[in-house]
């Protein structure tokens, strides 16, 4: 018994971040009453269609605190109850436009229930009950938002993919030298990967549209500038930049960051991070600005 008590007290007073996952299914529609039908359709595409559409949302709540004498930051039963009573009971199997006052578009203060607007309001409702330091909300596996409690400032991530081949070798080195550095990746005929590309942008949530930036515009940028030019290519030969730059995951991620930074700025957002998943065991992340999302869990592969 003495050993058990000693073990429980071992980490007491140390700060720890814990996470709790919660899921809910909801529908929503992007439609502003001050716009005409044509304007709504032009602005929001298929998301403007009546009666709306649904998602299986996944919420990740990150909380920080000191480890207590029971070896816990918080009682997880209390955490579960707070998330259920304040969030999922209100949203699960509901039409978001008609849930909370913040989404009442008949008032000037109402905004559309976008992923980034929803996560900000979830924060405001959970913060009085839990010591949250970050939230992540997945609308689907290739779209999610992060929020750190900074007023209207939020992060939005889209995921894309492409298949490409490459060879890792430096032209000025001998085959033996390249093999010593790059191993099997230096073999002369190259090899391929199914790459996963996560593009994270940061910006202010519009108080009416609920949007950080034009989501469809962001998707088009990534598709036009990266996915289509890269897909089913031999990077060393088909992408001029990599004719004299070794296409490692790190260098590819850096190239993507440099390529997207200015076009994303023209959309009204800031490129925050590029993550390139080369394989289940290998990924590279490049930040276009100071890292701010260290408290969040890794994105799913």
CATH number at residue 1: 3.30.479.10
In a domain, 299, yes or no: no
The residues near 181 (Cβ < 8 Å, ≥ 6 apart) are: 168, 170, 173
In a domain, 300, yes or no: no
The predicted structure's pLDDT at residue 297: 56
Q: Average pLDDT of the chain?
A: 93
Query: Are both 167 and 191 inside the same structural domain?
Result: yes
In a domain, 66, yes or no: yes
The predicted structure's pLDDT at residue 291: 85
The predicted structure's pLDDT at residue 290: 87
Q: Say whether pLDDT at 6 is over 50.
A: no
Query: Are both 35 and 105 inside the same structural domain?
Result: yes
pLDDT band at 3 (very low <50, low <70, confident <90, very high): very low
283 - beta bridge partners?
Answer: 277
The sign one gets for the Cα dihedral 61, 64, 65, 69 is positive
Share of the chain above pLDDT 70, in %: 93
Query: Are both 76 and 140 inside the same structural domain?
Result: yes
Query: Are both 124 and 171 inside the same structural domain?
Result: no
The per-residue pLDDT for range 83-122, each reduced to its tens digit, is 999 999 999 999 999 999 999 999 999 999 999 999 999 9
Query: Are both 164 and 213 inside the same structural domain?
Result: yes
Share of the chain above pLDDT 90, in %: 90
In a domain, 43, yes or no: yes
Which residues are identified as catalytic? 185, 232, 278
The predicted structure's pLDDT at residue 294: 61
Q: What's the average model confidence in pLDDT over 195-207?
A: 97
The per-residue pLDDT for range 231-241, each reduced to its tens digit, is 999 999 999 99
In this structure, the strands spanning 270-279 and 282-287 are antiparallel
The predicted structure's pLDDT at residue 292: 77
pLDDT band at 5 (very low <50, low <70, confident <90, very high): very low
In a domain, 205, yes or no: yes
Q: Say whether pLDDT at 266 is over 60.
A: yes
In a domain, 231, yes or no: yes
Q: Say whether pLDDT at 295 is over 90.
A: no
Q: Say whether pLDDT at 7 is over 70.
A: no
For residues 92 and 169, give the distance between their C-alpha atoms in angstroms, rounded to a whole number.
52
Identify the domain boundary among 149, 176, 201. 149
Count how many domains the chain has. Answer: 2
In this structure, the strands spanning 143-147 and 233-234 are unpaired
In a domain, 252, yes or no: yes
Query: Are both 155 and 144 inside the same structural domain?
Result: no
Q: Say whether pLDDT at 249 is over 60.
A: yes
Identify the domain boundary among 149, 179, 213. 149
C-alpha of 190 from chain center: 31
pLDDT band at 12 (very low <50, low <70, confident <90, very high): low
Identify the domain boundary among 149, 174, 196. 149
Query: Are both 9 and 145 inside the same structural domain?
Result: yes
Query: Are both 277 and 263 inside the same structural domain?
Result: yes
The predicted structure's pLDDT at residue 10: 58
Which of residues 135 and 301 earns the better pLDDT score? 135
The per-residue pLDDT for range 137-176, each reduced to its tens digit, is 999 999 999 999 999 999 999 999 999 999 999 999 999 9
For residues 175 and 178, give the distance between their C-alpha atoms in angstroms, rounded to a whole number.
5
The predicted structure's pLDDT at residue 296: 57
Query: Are both 203 and 266 inside the same structural domain?
Result: yes
Query: Are both 128 and 38 inside the same structural domain?
Result: yes
The predicted structure's pLDDT at residue 207: 95
Query: Are both 39 and 143 inside the same structural domain?
Result: yes
Domain, as residue range, for 94: 1-149
The residues near 197 (Cβ < 8 Å, ≥ 6 apart) are: 159, 160, 161, 162, 222, 226, 227, 256, 274, 275, 276, 277
In a domain, 301, yes or no: no
The predicted structure's pLDDT at residue 226: 98
Strand (E) positions, the chain? 15-28, 53-66, 94-95, 132-140, 143-147, 153-166, 191-204, 233-234, 270-279, 282-287
For residues 130 and 62, give the distance between their C-alpha atoms in angstroms, rounded to a whole number.
10
Query: Are both 155 and 128 inside the same structural domain?
Result: no
Q: What's the average model confidence in pLDDT over 197-218?
A: 96
Q: Say whether pLDDT at 247 is over 90.
A: yes
Q: What's the average model confidence in pLDDT over 40-54?
A: 93
CB 296, CB 134: distance < 8 Å: yes
């Amino acid at each position: 018994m003495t050993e058990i008590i000693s073990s429980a007290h071992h980490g007491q007073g140390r700060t720890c971040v814990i996470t709790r996952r919660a899921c809910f299914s909801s529908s929503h529609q992007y439609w502003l009453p001050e716009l005409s039908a044509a304007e709504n359709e032009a602005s929001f595409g298929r998301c403007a269609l009546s009666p709306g559409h649904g998602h299986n949302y996944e919420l990740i709540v990150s909380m920080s605190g000191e480890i207590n004498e029971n070896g816990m930051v918080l009682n997880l039963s209390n955490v579960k109850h707070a998330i259920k009573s304040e969030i999922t009971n209100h949203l699960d199997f509901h039409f978001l436009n008609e849930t909370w006052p913040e989404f009442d578009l008949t008032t000037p203060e109402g905004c559309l229930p976008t992923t980034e607007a929803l996560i900000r309001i979830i924060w405001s409702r959970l913060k009085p009950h839990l010591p949250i330091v970050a939230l992540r909300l997945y609308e689907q596996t290739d779209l999610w938002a992060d929020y750190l409690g900074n007023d209207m400032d939020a992060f939005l991530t889209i995921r894309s993919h492409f298949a490409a081949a490459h060879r890792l070798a430096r032209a000025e080195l001998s085959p033996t030298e390249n093999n010593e550095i790059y191993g099997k990746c230096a073999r002369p005929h190259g090899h391929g990967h199914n790459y996963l590309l996560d593009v994270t942008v940061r910006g202010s949530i519009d108080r009416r549209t609920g949007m950080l930036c034009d989501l469809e515009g962001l998707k088009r940028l990534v598709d036009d500038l990266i996915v289509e030019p890269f897909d089913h290519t031999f990077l060393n030969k088909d992408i001029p930049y990599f004719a004299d730059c070794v296409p490692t995951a790190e260098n590819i991620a850096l190239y993507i960051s440099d390529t997207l930074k200015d076009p994303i700025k023209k959309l009204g957002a800031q490129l925050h991070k590029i993550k390139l998943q080369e394989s289940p065991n290998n990924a590279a992340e490049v930040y276009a600005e100071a890292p701010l999302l260290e408290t969040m869990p890794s994105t799913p592969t």
